[in-house]
């Protein structure tokens, strides 16, 4: 998976989240929470890939972390 693929997925998720929040009917809170978690995971993966690249490591060795790890991370 490339950085571009991750960024494209982030863009898709952001657009879906915006549509849900702007819809005339109430948004599905479970779906919005799922999108938020996926976005956090994508951004985390992108940061991991960039850090690996910066330190001469293989960015493809970065893994998607589970939502609990990403949500509870304190930077």
Determine the structural domain holding residue 51 and report its residue range.
3-71
* Dist CA 14 CA 22 (whole Å): 12
Alpha-helical regions (H) of the chain: 3-22, 29-54, 67-71
pLDDT digits (tens, 9 = 90+) for 6-45: 999 999 999 999 999 888 887 788 999 999 999 999 999 9
- Kindly report whether the global pTM for this prediction surpasses the value 0.75: yes
Q: How many CA atoms lie within 13 A of 18 on its CB side?
A: 6
Helices 29-54 + 3-22 axis angle, to 10: 160
Q: Structurally, how many domains does the chain consist of?
A: 1
């Amino acid at each position: 998976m490339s950085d571009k693929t991750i960024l494209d997925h982030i863009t898709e998720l952001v657009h879906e989240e915006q549509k849900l929040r702007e819809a005339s009917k109430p948004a599905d809170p479970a779906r919005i929470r799922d999108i938020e978690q996926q976005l956090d995971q994508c951004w985390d993966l992108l940061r991991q890939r960039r850090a690996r690249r910066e330190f001469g490591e293989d960015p493809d060795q970065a893994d998607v972390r589970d939502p609990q790890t990403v949500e509870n991370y304190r930077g």
